[in-house]
Amino acid sequence: MDAPTGEVILDIGSDATGTLQIKFRLYDSKGCPAGESGDASCFPGGIRVISQEGELLLELPSEPNGNIIYHLYNRNGDLLTSSDGVSTKIGPCLRMESWPRAGASAASRRPRPV
């Protein structure tokens, strides 16, 4: 999530059956829209999103245990985070959230200030 605006750039979760669901709105290093998934979807064949300049923005593998590779920018062209599938770099504008497992109180789901 882009911390200054709250815009969700990449959302990875699972549905009630445990199937991986991914939703994204990607921008390139200039802040131009580069790809959008629409609603959360399953990508069993994987997916690659490349900017017009040839930069790999998102690669979802087709194999279940494969690594996700990404370079996530916000609409200002600021790099939020990047990963080569092994290590991840986190920039100052990134805000990450996760929903607690069953049994956690609703109060724990409130976003905390960054």
* pLDDT above 90: percentage of residues in the chain: 38
Residue 2 lies in a domain: no
Residue span of the structural domain in which 37 resides? 10-92
Q: Tens of pLDDT along 68-110?
A: 999 999 999 999 889 988 887 877 666 666 665 444 444 444 4
Residue 40 lies in a domain: yes
Contact 108, 102 (CB under 8 A): no
pTM of the predicted model as reported, rounded to 2 decimal places:
0.75
Residue 109 lies in a domain: no
Pairwise CA distance, residues 19 & 2, whole Å: 25
Is residue 102 exposed (0-12), middle (13-18) or buried (19+ Cβ within 10 Å)?
exposed
Tally of structural domains, the chain: 1
Pairwise CA distance, residues 10 & 19, whole Å: 17
Residue 27 lies in a domain: yes
Residue 69 lies in a domain: yes
